[in-house]
Amino acid sequence: MTVEMSSPSVAADGGPVPAVDLTVDLAGLTLAGPTLTASGCAAAGRELAPFVDLRRLGGVVTKSILREARSGRPTPRMAETPSGMLNSIGLQGPGIDAFLAHDLPWLREAGVTTVVSIAGNDAAEFTELAGRLAELGPAGGVAAIEVNISCPNVANRGLVFACDRDSTTQVLDGVVAAVGGRVPVLAKLSPDVTDIVAIAQACLSAGVDGLAMVNTTLGMVIDTDRLRPALAGVTGGLSGPAVRPIAVRCIWQVHAAMRDGRLRPAPIVGIGGVLTGLDALQLVLAGAAAVQVGTATFHDPTAPARVADELGTALAERGIGALRHAVGLAHESDPTAALAVRRQESR
């Protein structure tokens, strides 16, 4: 399947929808499209390759990689919820050596823009993983690194580093130093915090190039037939359309803090409940420069490409000729006037 990012379609008035510039500048990394896969929802991309030309997406974000192989949490590990799902996978994966030997070469040879997600049991593990990947750099197939400091479905809740400013700083200081500017570093934040702006400030002060917002939120389901928790791990990460309003709120708050000078400006990759192009547009208007599509791929493996097409059509129908002109537009008191200024400034 070939995905046309220019999104040719039919406008509401019956005429053709003009092409929209959907490219994204992500801290110096140019993405071909506005959508990426979300970590954990497409492994290392092979599963989606029969359905989508992965080269035409903004990129593939891999499942989080750890130093050693990990079997994850016991089954059952997934449960459906209204407008979403719970997962309690527990960062199952083959470890960095297997990833570098098998998955990364496939992605590189396929010409895929690859954002490698990393996780760790402590700051030292994060630093080691980031350093090994940064050594490879773009020539070795690593376009960027996403630092998963926010996974909620681990047995030790103390591993959710993004719930504490000091832990966040400790992890990201080491990662940023190890990477040394060779590839962009994105910090993936948790919505399960009292003040997400404070955590974002810790990330940006540590020197990350951008933020990925947000990871799943901690939830739980009880099986009323078995009279016990549905998941073996009791709790899991809630994803899907049900969490989209949370993601929009978090992105809005952080982008607002960037606009008023409380945070230094940095690109935000929006994540959370994106099922359609209009869902993605909400995240963009709140302040996201690009979006990730995750849970939707479980029932529609073409979702990352389809959402990009729908987003392009939605922008064109609103007279917005470039995705970058829409980023954070909902913060403006007069979006129409602000859009005109943005168009003029980009000429």
Strand partners, 60: 114
Amino acid found at 252: W
- Helices and strands (H and E) in the chain: how many: 10, 16
Q: Is 250 assigned a catalytic role?
A: no
The C-alpha atoms of residue 236 and residue 317 are separated, in whole angstroms, by 39
Contact 294, 40 (CB under 8 A): yes
Angle among Cα 285, 152, 308 to the nearest 5 degrees reads 30
Per DSSP, 330 falls in state: G
Euclidean distance between CA atoms 179 and 308, whole angstroms: 30
Q: Give CA–CA dist 234/69, Å, rounded.
A: 23
The one catalytic residue in 151, 163, 203, 250 is 151
Give a three-class secondary structure readout of 161-173.
HHHCHHHHHHHHH
Nearest-CA neighbor of 217 among 266, 145, 273, 278? 273
Residue 153 CA to residue 201 CA, distance in Å, equals 24
Give catalytic residue positions: 151
